[in-house]
């Protein structure tokens, strides 16, 4: 059917073509480099008392058993082999190989130090690192601190241009962009092409969710000129990603305002090219890439939207409409710190045209206060999209 609102956890993000990506599991190293030494030929020697308790002092297990120990030399004691475990080892980021204990040297055979040498031996003080070595250590420490400070999160929204719930997530998206700045990166990824068999059902779905996300919606397109599928819009967006991901992000927002706010059937090549020109895409390049991209198809029902948060090695998946707290929780766990948003004119200039609800969300205004601030802000002006008023700047 389309958009859902359930919440669960899922594997990591899709790649550019939205296929699943498996995380690489570290593979223990060192075993392939081990060379087993040949077993020594037996020679007849008189038996001597071996302090270890083994007649003749022969190594236990010989060279063949040594191959089962990682890094053990010939003649080293060989631990009894254990049955391989059926459980997969925990992925702790690195694999450690244990080296069997080396045989102790019998005390009777240990060379004794002469008394005169013992008297002359004096403890040596540890050498202090020179200034150059100290600077290198300080630089390494600073680099580690920078790595901790440069923690970033990627938030991927899997959807398409006709997804009214994905349109309803924009207030949260803009709030996170303002509070976390470059610490958070958003990306729009396409789901497979969706077929629209019942325009009436789609109109009811949009009407149902409008009071929940409070973003403007017009259902006229489903009554007057309903699309049959999302195929052309998906193709146009995929071609835009080939040219520029930041511009493709703005293109997706423009497609949604045209389809969901203005009530325009955007499943038309000329319309899509015009909307692409509006956001600064090179339409000649878009035409060239148009035929090279192939929108994904699926025989199963496609559910939208799905929001995936990737931060500090953690992946959190939210389905349907998300709140700011849904996303902020894993960001806070990763140590990301929020800041105050920029001034309202700067916000509108960067993200506009914006909706009143988006201003409410970012600045925690009531609707009346948001309208008042927009009307009195310098260089901020209203602009009509269908029957809805959005706000932009004169810059």
Q: Please list the residue range(s) of the chain that carry CATH number 1.10.10.
A: 340-395
Average pLDDT rounded to a whole number, residues 247-255: 97
Token pair in block for residue 131: 């200034």
If phi over 0 gives left and psi between -120 and 50 gives alpha, with beta otherwise, what is residue 6? beta
The terminus-to-terminus CA distance of the chain in angstroms comes to 42
Report the pLDDT value the prediction gives residue 135, as an integer from 0 to 100.
52
Report the pLDDT value the prediction gives residue 269, as an integer from 0 to 100.
97
Task: Give me the percent of the chain exceeding a pLDDT of 70.
Answer: 62
Residue 203: phi and psi, rounded to 5, are -65, -45
CA geometry: angle at 8 spanning 229 and 238, to 5°?
A: 35
Res 65 pLDDT > 80: no
Q: Please list the residue range(s) of the chain that carry CATH number 3.40.30.10.
A: 151-339
Q: pLDDT of 118-171, one tens digit each?
A: 444 444 444 555 555 555 555 555 554 444 455 799 999 999 999 999 999 999
DSSP state of 7: B
Report the pLDDT value the prediction gives residue 89, as an integer from 0 to 100.
43
Token pair in block for residue 320: 């349907």
Token pair in block for residue 108: 């009777």
CA distances for 303 relative to 158, 175, 191, angstroms: 10, 25, 8
* Across 6-15, 64-73, 113-122, 374-383, least confident range: 64-73
Report the pLDDT value the prediction gives residue 140, as an integer from 0 to 100.
54
DSSP state of 301: P
* DSSP tally for the chain: helices H, then strands E: 15, 6
Report the pLDDT value the prediction gives residue 170, as an integer from 0 to 100.
98
Domain 151-339 belongs to what architecture? 3-Layer(aba) Sandwich (3.40)
* Residue where the block lists tokens 């009894």: 80
Helix, strand, coil percentages for the chain (3-state, nearest 5): 40, 10, 50
Token pair in block for residue 156: 């991927």
Q: Which of 100, 106, 110, 111 is nearest to 57 (CA)?
A: 106
Res 33 pLDDT > 50: no
Confidence of residue 394 (pLDDT cuts 50, 70, 90): confident
For CA atoms 302, 303, 304, 305, the dihedral sign is negative
How many of the other CB atoms lie within 10 Å of CB of 290?
Answer: 19
DSSP, collapsed to helix, strand or coil, labels residue 122 as: coil
Res 341 pLDDT > 90: yes
Confidence of residue 32 (pLDDT cuts 50, 70, 90): very low
For CA atoms 150, 141, 335, 313, the dihedral sign is positive
Extended beta strands in 205-313, E state = 306-311
Q: Are 234 and 163 in contact (CB under 8 A)?
A: no
Q: What is the CA radius of gyration of the chain?
A: 33
More confident: 218 or 51: 218
* Helix 170-180, helix 356-363: angle, nearest 10: 40
Report the pLDDT value the prediction gives residue 137, as an integer from 0 to 100.
57
Report how far residue 185's alpha carbon sits from residue 155's, in angstroms, rounded to the nearest whole number.
6
Extended beta strands in the chain, E state = 153-159, 184-190, 306-311, 314-319, 380-385, 388-393
Average pLDDT rounded to a whole number, residues 315-330: 94
Report the pLDDT value the prediction gives residue 297, as an integer from 0 to 100.
94
Res 382 pLDDT > 70: yes
Question: Using a CB cutoff of 8 Å and minimum separation of 24, what contacts does 37-41 make?
Answer: 37/63, 37/66, 37/73, 37/74, 38/63, 39/63, 39/64
Report how far residue 169's alpha carbon sits from residue 222's, in angstroms, rounded to the nearest whole number.
22
Report how far residue 189's alpha carbon sits from residue 19's, in angstroms, rounded to the nearest whole number.
11
Average pLDDT rounded to a whole number, residues 62-70: 39
Mean pLDDT (the chain) is 76
Q: pLDDT of 261-305, one tens digit each?
A: 999 999 999 999 999 999 999 999 999 999 999 999 998 988 899
Average pLDDT rounded to a whole number, residues 25-38: 42
pTM for this one? Answer: 0.64
Average pLDDT rounded to a whole number, residues 343-366: 97
Q: Which CATH class is domain 340-395?
A: mainly alpha
């Amino acid at each position: 059917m389309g958009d859902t609102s359930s919440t669960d956890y899922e594997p990591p993000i899709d790649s550019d073509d939205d296929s699943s990506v498996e995380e690489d599991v570290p593979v223990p190293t060192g075993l392939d480099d081990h060379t087993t030494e040949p077993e020594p030929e037996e020679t007849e020697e008189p038996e001597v008392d071996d302090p270890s308790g083994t007649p003749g002092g022969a190594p236990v297990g010989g060279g063949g058993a040594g191959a089962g120990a990682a890094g053990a030399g010939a003649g080293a004691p060989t631990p009894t082999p254990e049955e391989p475990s059926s459980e997969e080892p925990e992925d702790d980021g690195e694999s450690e190989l244990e080296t069997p204990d080396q045989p102790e040297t019998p005390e009777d055979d240990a060379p004794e130090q002469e008394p005169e040498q013992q008297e002359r031996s004096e403890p040596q003080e540890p050498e202090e690192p020179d200034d150059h070595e100290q600077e290198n250590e300080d630089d390494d420490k600073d680099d580690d601190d920078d790595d901790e400070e440069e923690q970033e999160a990627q938030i991927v929204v899997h959807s398409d241009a006709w997804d009214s719930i994905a349109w309803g997530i924009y207030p949260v998206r803009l709030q996170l962009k303002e509070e976390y700045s470059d610490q958070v990166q958003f990306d729009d990824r396409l789901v497979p092409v969706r077929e629209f068999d019942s325009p009436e059902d789609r109109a009811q779905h949009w009407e149902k969710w409008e009071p929940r996300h409070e973003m403007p919606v017009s259902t006229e397109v489903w009554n007057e000129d309903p699309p049959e599928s999302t195929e052309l819009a998906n193709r146009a967006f995929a071609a835009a990603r080939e040219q520029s991901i930041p511009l493709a992000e703005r293109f997706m927002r423009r497609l949604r305002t045209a389809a969901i706010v203005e009530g325009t059937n955007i499943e038309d090549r000329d319309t899509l090219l015009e909307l692409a020109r509006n956001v600064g895409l090179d339409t000649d390049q878009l035409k060239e890439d148009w035929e090279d991209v192939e929108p994904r198809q699926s025989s199963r029902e496609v559910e939208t939207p799905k929001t995936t948060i990737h931060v500090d090695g953690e992946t959190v998946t939210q389905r349907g409409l998300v709140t700011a707290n849904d996303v902020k929780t894993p960001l806070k766990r990763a140590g990301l710190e929020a800041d105050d948003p920029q001034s309202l004119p700067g916000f509108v200039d960067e993200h506009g045209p914006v909706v009143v609800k988006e201003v409410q969300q970012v600045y925690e205004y009531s609707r009346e206060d948001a309208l008042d601030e927009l009307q009195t802000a310098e260089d901020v002006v209203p602009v009509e999209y269908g029957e809805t008023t959005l706000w932009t700047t004169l810059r």
